[in-house]
Amino acid sequence: MNQLHKSPFRIYEISFNFCTSFFFCLLLLSAQAVAGGGGGGHSWDGIVVTQGNYQALQAIKHELIDFTGVLRTWNDSSTTSVCSGGWAGIKCLRGQVVAIQLPWKGLGGTISEKIGQLQSLRKLSLHDNVLAGSVPRSLGYLKNLHGVYLFNNRLSGSVPASLGNCPLLQNLDLSNNQLSGIIPATLAESTRLYRLNLSFNSLSGPLPVTLARSQTLTFLDLGHNNLSGSIPDFAVNGSHPLKKLNLDHNRFSGAVPLSLCKQSLLEEVSLSHNQLFGSIPTECGALLHLQSLDLSYNSINGTIPDAIDRLHNLTMLNLKRNKINGPIPERIGNITGITQLDLSENNLTGLIPPSLVNLANLTSFNVSFNTLSGPVPPILSRKFNSSSFLGNIQLCGYSSSTPCPSPKPHHPLTPSPTSPQEPRKHHRKLSVKDIILIAIGALLAILLLLCCILLCCLIKKRAALKQKDGKDKITTEKTASATGAATSGGGGEMGGKLVHFDGPFVFTADDLLCATAEIMGKSTYGTAYKATLEDGNEVAVKRLREKTTKGVKEFEAEVTALGKIRHPNLLALRAYYLGPKGEKLLVFDYMSKGSLSAFLHSRGPETLIPWQTRIQIAKGISRGLAHLHKNENTIHENLTSSNILLDEKTNPHIADYGLSRLMTAAAATNVIATAGTLGYRAPEFSKIKNASTKTDVYSLGIIMLELLTGKSPGEPTNGMDLPQWVASIVKEEWTNEVFDLELMRETQTVGDELLNTLKLALHCVDPSPAARPEAVQVVEQLEEIRAEVEATTVGSGGDGGKDEEGV
């Protein structure tokens, strides 16, 4: 036995000395600890698996469909290799199976009820597979069960009520499946349950009161279901450990429970897209740890409580599309850390408080479609475009088309010299002579004005002709027309038409056509230019290929719809121009750092891109794509890193969205084919099939892999495309061969974030469209990656305190 104890330590020592990868070391240490079960770090305690556990594993294997061959190691003849590391995903302690870990293995079939015979099982991790059938009720027999991770599968049926019989259960994640029925109230009987995620299913019925009043839950996510009824009171007789509550996209009604505002540890609350009414309780000002509050898309009325300024840690407040009235509290300006504030589509009145200019961290702001009045503070109008203020008829100063009126001088009434105590009440009547003189004067003024206008036009035309030979032109045709309105243009002598939407610059057709132009690139849609206007301002102009766009009437209808789309991560269409001979120009904001593709692949060796920058880019792209899918009902169809543009702060802006709507069917087909050759097209997306949100998510996954690996999807590696190459490496081991070498310098601090982001990216490029998440889910999971890493420290000690990757 002494030799048996010494050998594993010697193997570990040698392996550690030659370990060059942080992830390999991490996994090796984890494997030692799990296999040893806390008994000194042995890789195997020498005890053969019990016959009962062996038979249960064979029954489980029998009901699984092994598409990738991962279960080949589960042979039928040997019991000695089960616990010694020979069986993939199996961990033992004293001859008993304590963990089954087979995520991301492409497993299908069902989970056998025989799993209930593994009495020592602590962890079941089969997430991100294609498992069907129901969640085994026999899991409730397992008294040592700590964690169940079956998310991102195709499980159906109900949530087993028997899971409440597991006294040590701490993590239960069945999200993103097809579960139905009610949420069992018995789940609250698991007295150590601190993380419950049942989101993205089809659950119905009420939220059990016993669950709401659980004294252990810190994370509760029931979003995207069909739950109804009122939201029950939370821990009426005491504080609650809850930190994150997500009940969005359900059918809850009634008021926001007052008890919820008394849970002092809450950090995130999302109750959006429900049927809540009543006012926001003033007591919610007591949520001193609250960072995110989303009550959007409800029927909440009343005013915004003044006590909201007590939420000093708040970074996001979303009250969009409710029935909130009254003024915007001046005290919101005291929440200095807030970055996102959306009060749009309510009944708010009065001025925009000047105190909001103090919110230096504000990156997203929207008060559109209220009844606000008065001037917009200049700092806000410069920082945010007009879409943040539209729909407020009496609001002014947020764009060139909504100037604020000049203050009228006050003229006091002059006392009459004959009656100093009273104002003058009588006026002398005009004589015929006075009227004739006034008429002659007016006629002369009109004639003089017409002469001045004619002279100005002649001077301007002569100056334009002189400039014609000395400047590069975007088009060969030119018009003398200018636009005076923000949303319409007029035809000039050549028949051109310029239409503005909104934006920081106002220019005429002459300004645009005479601008100095520099070609930035060409695509199937047309040629992109950087145009420098005469006043020095820069815009991006895309000249669409002639004979590839739709007719003028249909084109204008589609481009007008695109001009209304606004989001911080979507490149805004600011104007368009229709030339007299069919030329069509689209005008966008100019992005100083160019495309993401050039940013990643055309930089010098001295230029490093840290992980924080890359993950922020991934989040921004995901947010923009989610907005397109969810709010604009628009599919991009051609998402690549070349049409992700970066501004001076490296914030991403998705370009070319919706352009296929401007093109003929033949031209759109060419764009799709081009995307395929670049490696971004989903395998099911061909010329005879339509694009979908899932084909866009596939392209998003490719871009995420591009950010992680630093490799271009258009350049095969070892004869494989980017997803195949990454999958081949992941199948063998989590090593530094996957990640960009620059990122390996940061692995001590962001190692888990890299792994979790890689898992999510691979989920996005799943060959099966049904298995891919929606863009809004990608956003949520990217936002939660940091929270999930931090959650590894939560627990009651021992094995129960580990995260999803521990036993």
Q: Which two tokens stand for residue 586?
A: 């689209």
Range name among 6-15, 161-170, 277-286, 739-748 with the lowest pLDDT average: 6-15
Helix (H) or strand (E) holding 527: strand 526-532
3-state helix, strand, coil in the chain (%, to 5): 35, 15, 50
Name the pLDDT band for 42 (thresholds 50, 70, 90).
very low
Which span out of 153-167, 232-246, 408-422, 703-717 was modeled with the highest average pLDDT? 153-167
d(CA 7, CA 5): 6
- The pLDDT value recorded for residue 482 is 32
- The pLDDT value recorded for residue 432 is 62
Mean pLDDT of 49-73: 91
Name the pLDDT band for 638 (thresholds 50, 70, 90).
confident
- Domains located in the chain, CATH noted: 94-402 (3.80.10.10), 471-590 (3.30.200.20), 593-807 (1.10.510.10)
Which span out of 19-33, 76-90, 238-252 was modeled with the highest average pLDDT? 238-252
Residue 668 scores a pLDDT above 90: no
d(CA 208, CA 190): 14
d(CA 283, CA 509): 56
Within 10 angstroms of residue 152's Cβ, the number of other Cβ atoms is 29
In terms of DSSP H, where are the helices of 112-153?
none
Closest among 172, 169, 114, 171 to 143, alpha carbons compared:
169
How high does pLDDT run on average in the chain? 80
Name the pLDDT band for 689 (thresholds 50, 70, 90).
low
What burial letters (b/e) apply to 51-71, b meaning 16+ CB within 10 Å? Answer: eebbebbeebbeebebeeebb
Judge contact between 681 and 671, C-beta under 8 A: no
Residue 802 scores a pLDDT above 70: no
Q: What is the pLDDT of residues 703-728, one digit of tens each?
A: 999 999 988 887 766 668 888 888 88
d(CA 240, CA 216): 8
Residue 569 scores a pLDDT above 90: yes
Q: What is the pLDDT of residues 351-382, one digit of tens each?
A: 999 999 989 889 889 999 999 999 999 989 88
Q: What is the pLDDT of residues 402-429, one digit of tens each?
A: 888 876 554 443 344 444 444 444 445 5
Range name among 158-172, 434-448, 577-591 with the lowest pLDDT average: 434-448
CA atoms within 13 A on the CB side of 519: 6
- The pLDDT value recorded for residue 64 is 95
- The pLDDT value recorded for residue 7 is 30
Closest among 784, 769, 780 to 249, alpha carbons compared:
780
What burial letters (b/e) apply to 521-540, b meaning 16+ CB within 10 Å? Answer: eebbbbbbbbbbbeeeebbb
Burial class (CB in 10 A: 0-12, 13-18, 19+), 685: buried
Range name among 202-211, 329-338, 587-596, 664-673 with the lowest pLDDT average: 664-673
Range name among 308-312, 490-494, 585-589, 628-632 with the lowest pLDDT average: 490-494
